[in-house]
């Protein structure tokens, strides 16, 4: 009798679901919604919130939306209302417009922001109009603005309409600049002459953000604005919109500028008329005013033009800012600061930056200067305590003569020497270096040396085969690397390296399982690296695990890394998978997360990694660390690599794009 009753209850549940199914729609899709709809009306707020969150992801979208809208009308707990609004953002529909508007009108704080996101997700003109009108309300302005930032260029027509009605709405002016649509330029040029200073400032700033040359004339006029804040924005705007012909106007303003204005005017002059700007900086250096000399030095360091080489050389010789001056000399266009560094190569700062400059301007340094510089670097001690530094600097400068010494050092009993040799071979590059590094990695037992070997293999410049589109050469055997994935001390670097290999069959499956496991580790650096590796390895089957990290991980960096990995996988995702990613993008609060998810939802793949011409170098000073300091390097793409500095405290990474790398020294406790 019990089983008959059980079947009867099940049949009732199935019949209820089937009644609401649409023609041709599988009834099984409705079952989760039926259970969650009931849970929306539970006594505990946690249960209701969990049901609201789940209805944004599971079950039939239309049925879930109807249940959420019904719950929104009666729900009083703001925590649950936020979850309802976020789920409605994931599953937008036109029937949600009026209930969302009514709720938004009386909402505050986090609830208002969630409801504004849901309105933005509708993608309709009326919904955008409601958000634009809310900019005039003090209690809803922040929420409306955040939502309109998400909408972007599609909100421009409504913003222009609003400003024609109320030209003093500063938030709408600023949103036009963030949208970056040139159709706003005519209105912005008119607003830049408003009698209200705040409006003039916002209009000029938006013209700068859009970058349309039609804004140049009004920017020039604003240089003489009676309001100092408007003048400052105008000078900054001229840095982007100005031409060399505007240099004379800036020089006039510089001649009459007060103390606090000189830096900005000099910087604008350097950008729009570099020759005139360099002459002005040189003149400032000879000033009797210490503040003007300091400002000129700051600008020479920030803009290392060839004409400013004498200023940088003077700063190097003076000694107070020697390291900064040496680094700037290495950055002088075309390597034209290397002659000065060669002349001063006895100084450690100069020898370091000489190697950096040779790498930075490798294809543009005259062969005679290159040979003289390499000769000077070869004079550095090749044995003893200073040897690791000499190896790395010569490898950084691409001195092939050091390759044999480095290969032998990989067999040393000294772990510090093996770490330095691995690091140097990664900088040197070439097939010989690749073979030596792989051979050493297969037998290395020291975790810190293993990490250096793995990082060096990742940092190797692409081989000729890879540049020809044939992919990286496989290692002799992936077994030692796959085994390292099971070792907590090596797993992170092993995962990042394994992701770059063309594995197949059992080895590929083993790598995939290890990467998913690393994605669940307690340390955030492990999770971000695993996310990057899953994208780089093309593990499209891991899309759901990555999306779960995007939606639920508590650490912003992990959410961003997972979203970026999905963008790397974009072209590999199915239509249904891209729809799920698009829903998550609509609900995402973080701008970077939303941008990566939108790219993935568009079916476009981005490269897992980008190379460039920059050289990262830094020095960590730590007492009682004669063999170097462990540091975690967090890259914007999600990778976090743990490496050791040289005994000198220095570390170098080459061929990087313009980016910010977070350097986190590991302090022993």
Section 159-172 average pLDDT: 94
Domain that holds residue 524: 468-608
Residue 6 has a pLDDT of: 36
pLDDT at position 537 is 95
Q: Residue 9 pLDDT more than 70?
A: no
pLDDT, residue 5, reads 35
Q: Is residue 350 part of a domain?
A: no
Structure-derived torsion over alpha carbons of residues 393, 398, 402, 407, reported in degrees to the nearest 10: 100
Instruction: Summarize pLDDT for 416-431 with one digit per residue, the tens.
Output: 999 999 999 999 998 8
The pLDDT of residue 90: 92
pLDDT digits over 368-407, tens only?
999 999 999 999 988 888 899 999 999 999 999 999 999 9
Per-residue pLDDT tens digits for 460-493: 866 554 444 445 555 667 888 889 999 999 999 9
pLDDT, mean of residues 2-23: 36
pLDDT at 471: 53
pLDDT(168) > 90: yes
Q: Which of these ranges, 10-19, 153-162, 170-179, 554-563, has the smallest mean pLDDT?
A: 10-19
| pLDDT tens profile 206-217 | 999 999 999 999
- Residue by residue, DSSP assigns 153-206 as GGGHHHHHHHHHH-TT-HHHHHHHHHHT-GGGHHHHHHHTT-SSHHHHHHHHHH
Has residue 440 got a pLDDT over 90?
yes
pLDDT bucket at 41, cuts 50 / 70 / 90? confident
- C-alpha 108/C-alpha 104 separation (Å) is 8
Please give the radius of gyration of the chain, using alpha carbons only, rounded to the nearest integer. 30
Residue 622: pLDDT band (50, 70, 90) is confident
The per-residue pLDDT for range 599-618, each reduced to its tens digit, is: 999 998 999 999 999 999 99
For residue 525, being part of any structural domain is answered with: yes
Strands 662-665, 640-644: pairing is unpaired
Question: How many domains does the structure of the chain reveal?
Answer: 1
Confidence of residue 645 (pLDDT cuts 50, 70, 90): very high
Query: In sequence order, what are the beta bridge partners of 641?
Result: 633
Nearest to residue 249, comparing CAs of 292, 281, 216?
216
Q: Residue 24 pLDDT more than 80?
A: no
Q: What is the pLDDT of residue 258?
A: 77
Q: Across residues 186-202, what is the average pLDDT?
A: 95
Which of residues 469 and 8 earns the better pLDDT score? 469
pLDDT attached to residue 462: 60
User: What pLDDT score was predicted for residue 39?
Assistant: 87
pLDDT band, very low/low/confident/very high, at 122 (cuts 50, 70, 90): very high
578 found inside a domain = yes
- SS3 readout for 38-70: HHCCCCCHHHHHHHHHHHCCCCCHHHHHHHHHH
User: What's 292-341 look like in SS3?
Assistant: HHHHHHHHHHHCCCHHHHHHHHHHHHHCCCHHHHHHHHHHCHHHCCHHHH
Residue 262 forms part of a structural domain: no
Taking all residues of the chain, what is their mean pLDDT, rounded to a whole number? 89
Structure confidence at residue 18 (pLDDT) = 33
| CATH number for position 568 | 1.25.10.10
Give percent of the chain with pLDDT exceeding 90.
77
The predicted structure's pLDDT at residue 598: 94
Q: Is the predicted pLDDT of residue 527 greater than 70, yes or no?
A: yes
* CA distance linking residue 225 with residue 253, whole number of Å: 12
């Amino acid at each position: 009798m019990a089983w008959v009753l059980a079947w009867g209850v099940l049949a009732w549940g199935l019949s209820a679901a089937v009644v609401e199914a649409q023609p041709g729609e599988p009834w099984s899709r409705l079952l989760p919604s039926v259970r969650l709809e009931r849970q929306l009306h539970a006594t505990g707020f946690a249960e209701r919130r969990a049901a609201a969150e789940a209805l944004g992801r599971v079950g039939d979208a239309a049925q879930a939306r109807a249940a959420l809208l019904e719950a929104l009308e009666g729900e009083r707990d703001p925590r649950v209302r936020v979850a309802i609004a976020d789920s409605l953002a994931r599953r937008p529909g036109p029937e949600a417009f009026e209930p969302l508007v009514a709720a938004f009108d009386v909402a505050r704080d986090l609830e208002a922001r969630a409801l504004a996101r849901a309105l933005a997700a509708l993608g309709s003109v009326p919904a955008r109009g409601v958000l634009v009108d809310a900019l005039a309300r003090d209690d809803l302005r922040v929420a409306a603005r955040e939502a309109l930032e998400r909408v972007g260029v599609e909100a421009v027509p409504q913003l222009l309409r609003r400003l024609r009605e109320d030209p003093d709405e500063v938030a709408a002016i600023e949103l036009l600049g963030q949208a970056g649509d040139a159709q706003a330029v005519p209105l912005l040029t008119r607003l830049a002459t408003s009698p209200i200073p705040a409006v003039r400032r916002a209009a000029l700033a938006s013209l700068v953000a859009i970058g349309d040359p039609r804004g140049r004339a009004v920017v020039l006029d604003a240089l003489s604005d009676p309001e100092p804040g408007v003048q400052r924005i105008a000078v900054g705007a001229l840095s982007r919109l100005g031409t060399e012909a505007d240099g004379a106007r800036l020089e006039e303003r510089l001649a009459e500028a007060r103390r606090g204005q000189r830096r900005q005017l000099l910087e604008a002059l350097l950008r729009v008329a570099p020759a005139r700007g360099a002459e002005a900086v040189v003149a400032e250096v000879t000033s009797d005013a210490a503040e003007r000399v300091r400002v000129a030095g700051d600008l020479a360091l920030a803009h290392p033009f060839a004409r400013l080489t004498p200023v940088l050389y003077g700063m190097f010789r003076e000694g107070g800012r020697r390291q900064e001056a040496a680094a700037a000399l290495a950055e002088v266009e075309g390597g034209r600061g290397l002659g000065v560094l060669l002349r001063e190569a006895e100084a450690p700062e100069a020898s370091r930056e000489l190697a950096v400059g040779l790498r930075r301007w490798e294809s543009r340094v005259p062969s005679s200067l290159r040979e003289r510089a390499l000769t000077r670097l070869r004079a550095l001690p090749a044995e003893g305590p200073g040897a690791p530094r000499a190896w790395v600097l010569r490898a950084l400068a691409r001195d092939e003569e050091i390759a044999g010494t480095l290969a032998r050092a990989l067999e040393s009993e000294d772990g510090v020497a093996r770490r330095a040799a691995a690091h140097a071979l990664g900088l040197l590059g070439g097939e010989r270096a690749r073979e030596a590094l792989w051979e050493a990695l297969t037998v290395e037992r020291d975790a810190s040396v293993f990490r250096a070997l793995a990082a060096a293999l990742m940092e190797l410049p692409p081989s000729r085969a890879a540049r020809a589109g044939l992919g990286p050469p496989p290692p002799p055997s992936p077994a030692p690397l796959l085994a390292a994935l099971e070792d907590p001390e090596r797993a992170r670097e092993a995962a990042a390296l394994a992701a770059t290999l063309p594995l197949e069959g059992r080895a590929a499956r083993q790598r995939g399982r290890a990467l998913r496991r690393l994605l669940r580790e307690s340390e955030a650096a492990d999770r971000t690296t695993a996310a990057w590796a899953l994208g780089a390895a093309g593990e499209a089957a891991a899309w759901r695990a990555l999306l779960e990290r995007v939606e639920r991980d508590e650490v912003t960096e992990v959410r961003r890394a997972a979203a970026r990995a999905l963008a790397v996988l974009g072209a590999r995702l199915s239509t249904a998978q891209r729809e799920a990613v698009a829903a998550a993008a609509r609900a995402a609060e973080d701008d970077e997360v939303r941008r990566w998810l939108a790219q993935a939802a568009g079916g476009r793949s981005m490269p897992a990694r980008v190379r460039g011409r920059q050289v990262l170098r830094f020095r960590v000073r730590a007492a009682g660390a004669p063999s170097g300091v462990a540091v975690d390097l967090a890259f914007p793409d999600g990778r976090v690599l743990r490496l050791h500095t040289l005994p000198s405290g220095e570390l170098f990474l080459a061929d990087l794009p313009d980016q910010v790398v977070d350097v986190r020294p590991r302090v022993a406790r």
